[in-house]
Amino acid sequence: MNGKYETHEHDVLVIGAGGAGLRAAIEALAQGASVGVVSKSLLGKAHTVMAEGGIAAAMANVDAADDWRTHFRDTMRGGKLLNHWRMAQIHAHEAGDRVRELEQWGALFDRTEDGRILQRAFGGHSFKRLCHVGDRTGLEMIRTLQDRGVQMGIDVYMECTVTRLLTDGDRVAGAFAYWRENGRFVVFKAKSIVLATGGIGKAYPVTSNSWEYTGDGMALAYATGAELMDMEFVQFHPTGMVWPPGVQGLLVTEAVRGEGGLLRNKLGERFMQRYDPQRMELSTRDVVARAIYTEVREGRGSEHGGAFLDISHKPAEYVKRKLPSMYHQFLELADVDITRSAMEVGPTCHYMMGGLRVDPETAACTVPGLFAAGEVAAGLHGANRLGGNSLSDLLVFGRRAGFAAAEYAKKQSWPALDPAEIAQGEGEMLCVFERQAGDTPYAVHADLQQLMQNLVGIFRTEEDLKSALTGIERLKDRMGRVGVPGTRMFNPGWHLYADMKSMLAIAEAVTRSALARKESRGAHSRLDYPKTDATWGEQNNIIRRHGSEMVLEQSPVPKMPAELQTLLAEEKGAGA
């Protein structure tokens, strides 16, 4: 029936080859499943390589008093209690084992004096908790997982983009994709699918994210009927580069502050005194990002509209050893020697706390056979993520998703593929070649990014969000008319056309959720509702598709057991 298309069959199909996808694939393979990994990029290039600061795990190698309870408490408080308590508990419980496992697969973390894994301080964490490799922890992690996967005989379909999930009745049946190299279509038939496609940063112009972060997994699953949750919570990392223009948004790791870096405005004031005198530079990201934004808006910013981040009071050799990538990044791209002078930094779109609603134990989405792990999933981080909790999230829930997807596949027969769905998939990708090229995907993308930055950024109002919704509708219309010159051979204009469909759906979801939540909490700041509201604190925003309409409703935040409530109420920890 699919003779027309190249077809591959796997028990478990993993979409995305970053930390979560690779960890899921390794686990599903270990469970005896046949596993295929589809990746938009070459293996080892996923956005995980850009993670810098470390992996949070309460291993107590440096601060003996640390344990999972404190990690749980910090994560919940950092997330303004909107987190799914059970995900936060599982995460705090299992992160240490997942780090040790990486070490046993060959990862080489920085060491303590007595030869154990070294841990560093980070914003919102009560103890020194981040296992790290200088400022290139993500690279170490992805290389370790990649090597492990290759040794196990993983099948990787590199430079292949999924544009549609296929279904058989209620359950998933596979995926429709194209090879980036030659534009040919390919069909994957699978009993279960793990989505590990990461976040949405490319919907914003100033972002630390790589081009791949276009919200694919969320959009694919949403189209298939899965629920999205808490989409209003987009994290702006406080410290991205602001100058020169070409590098605007590039991440400056929180490890700079973890290692003692100080934030100052143009008057030389350590302005965090005004926003969080207790934790100062090591406050949570939402607070520091708003602080820098406010300093700039009130005229105390640096020349290029940022704040100064200074680590030059530490010995030059120490800075070069602990922050080598930062040293080179600023020297080569901005002509700044960070061992001698301050960096100019400002907020950059960094991470999506919201995403697919999943079951805490199995990472299952609300569509049978579909699982999601890592940034594409919601729940663990609530309204704001702590630094270092992302890499541990990838490992903990990547493993759980891979395990559950393999278990699910064992119990299922092969699904049937629907030729009509495949034909639709082909049609929506090919129609663009038949149109006159006028408006291009590049132009629509640039306009979407500006809209998101201006109207759905760090500070939001009802008026802005409403006009954003109108604007997104207009952009959708334009996408219905864009043309793509050239052929299907490695054609980036065509690739962007595919990505834009995801970005527009996700932009709408973010805007609708932001409009609905009439309070300020964590990363979501409403100028017209500046206070935190206890009623909203008990509500998750849920989005699902109803025909062609996006519908939003509230669902109560799951209640945590009494013993965890007591634990959370204890005074210890980094404070709320």
Interacting residues toward another protein by CB under 8 A: 41-47, 49-50, 100, 103-106, 108, 110-111, 114-116, 133-134, 136, 138-140, 143, 147-148, 150-151, 158, 181, 210-212, 243-247, 250-251, 325, 328-329, 332-334, 437, 440-443, 446, 484-487, 489-494
Cα 255 to Cα 258: distance, rounded to the nearest angstrom: 4
DSSP codes, 281-345: GGS-HHHHHHHHHHHHHTT---TTSSEEEE-TTS-HHHHHHHSHHHHHHHHHHH---TTTSPEEE
- Smallest gap, in angstroms, from Cβ of residue 133 to another protein? 7
- Smallest gap, in angstroms, from Cβ of residue 114 to another protein? 7
- Looking at beta carbons only, is 61 or 75 nearer to another protein? 61
Q: Which of 237, 264, 357, 488 is catalytic?
A: 237
- Smallest gap, in angstroms, from Cβ of residue 333 to another protein? 7
- Looking at beta carbons only, is 259 or 295 nearer to another protein? 259
Residue 555's DSSP bridge partners are 540
- Smallest gap, in angstroms, from Cβ of residue 39 to another protein? 11
- Smallest gap, in angstroms, from Cβ of residue 305 to another protein? 15
Q: Where are the beta strands (DSSP E) in 411-538?
A: 459-460, 525-526
User: Is residue 257 among the annotated active site residues?
Assistant: yes
- Looking at beta carbons only, is 466 or 481 nearer to another protein? 481
User: Is residue 385 among the annotated active site residues?
Assistant: no
- 16 closest CA partner among 30, 35, 33, 34: 35
Q: Which residue type does 417 have?
A: L
Q: How many CB atoms lie within 10 A of CB 553?
A: 12
- Smallest gap, in angstroms, from Cβ of residue 181 to another protein? 6
- Looking at beta carbons only, is 319 or 365 nearer to another protein? 319
- Smallest gap, in angstroms, from Cβ of residue 183 to another protein? 10
CB 52 within 8 A of CB 137: yes
Segment holding 68, helix H or strand E: helix 68-78
Cα 54 to Cα 135: distance, rounded to the nearest angstrom: 8
- 138 closest CA partner among 224, 209, 47: 47
Q: Which residue type does 404 have?
A: A
What is the phi-psi region of residue 430: left when phi exceeds 0, alpha when psi lies from -120 to 50, beta otherwise?
Answer: alpha
- Looking at beta carbons only, is 58 or 165 nearer to another protein? 58
What is the distance between the terminal CA atoms of the chain, rounded to a whole angstrom?
Answer: 58
- Smallest gap, in angstroms, from Cβ of residue 526 to another protein? 32
CB 415 within 8 A of CB 191: yes
Strands 35-38 and 6-15: parallel
Q: Is 466 helix (H, G, I), strand (E, B) or coil?
A: helix
- Smallest gap, in angstroms, from Cβ of residue 208 to another protein? 8
- Residue 280: both structure tokens together: 């100062």
Q: How many CB atoms lie within 10 A of CB 113?
A: 7
Q: Which position has the token pair 């129609």? A: 431
Q: Is 559 helix (H, G, I), strand (E, B) or coil?
A: coil
Alpha-carbon torsion (124, 129, 131, 133), positive or negative: positive
Cα 522 to Cα 460: distance, rounded to the nearest angstrom: 13
- Smallest gap, in angstroms, from Cβ of residue 352 to another protein? 17
CB 73 within 8 A of CB 189: no
- 349 closest CA partner among 431, 238, 441: 238
Alpha-carbon torsion (420, 421, 424, 426), positive or negative: negative
Which burial class, exposed, middle or buried, applies to 490 when counting CB atoms under 10 A from its CB (0-12, 13-18, 19+)?
A: middle
- Residue 159: both structure tokens together: 């430079």
Q: Is 31 helix (H, G, I), strand (E, B) or coil?
A: coil
Q: Which of 10, 73, 257, 478 is catalytic?
A: 257
- Looking at beta carbons only, is 5 or 211 nearer to another protein? 211
Q: Is 75 helix (H, G, I), strand (E, B) or coil?
A: helix
Active site residues: 237, 257
